[in-house]
Amino acid sequence: MDRRTKARELAVQAICQLDVQGEQVLSLLPRFFRENSEDELVIQLAEQWTRGTWTHWRQCDEEIAAAAEKWNVSRLSMVDRNILRLGVYQLLFCPDIPEKVAINEAIELAKKYGGVQSPRFVNGVLDAVYRRKKESGTISHVQQ
């Protein structure tokens, strides 16, 4: 498995833990990542993406809600919601990740961890976020 793919998997798992248990889990992240990988790059990326997504979760949720007009973000499955949060975070805040890669990796996570309709839903939402931001000229990655 690609190192960045592994880091995304760990990040989604950690974001799900944060979603359920709240910020007290932040202090446990280094241990969680080390228990699940010995690769320093994987650990570093997973922690960076998890903390970044969690820091910007409200903005990510706003983007998801705007793109998934008929869906309330809180009603999405936990897995889909947090795959989308990571995908939106990477679209907006990670200039080193090509937009199409962020979308495709999120779709792959949805195939692996989500429901039958998850890949198509994740693709539709992230594509809508991407198109809206590109049209408004803000997809060139918002500053942290």
Q: What is the pLDDT of residue 70?
A: 81
pLDDT, tens digit (0-9, with 9 covering 90-100), for 62-116: 999 999 988 889 899 999 999 999 999 999 999 999 999 999 999 999 999 999 9
Rounded to whole angstroms, the Cα distance separating 113 from 72 reads: 20
pLDDT at 15 over 80: yes
pLDDT at 140 over 60: no
Q: What is the pTM of this model?
A: 0.92
Rounded to whole angstroms, the Cα distance separating 113 from 96 reads: 25
Assigned CATH class of 3-136: mainly alpha
Domain boundaries, the chain: 3-136
pLDDT at 142 over 70: no
Rounded to whole angstroms, the Cα distance separating 28 from 120 reads: 33
Q: What is the pLDDT of residue 112?
A: 97
Which has the higher per-residue pLDDT, 136 or 96?
96
Element at 106 (helix H, strand E): helix 99-113
pLDDT at 141 over 60: no
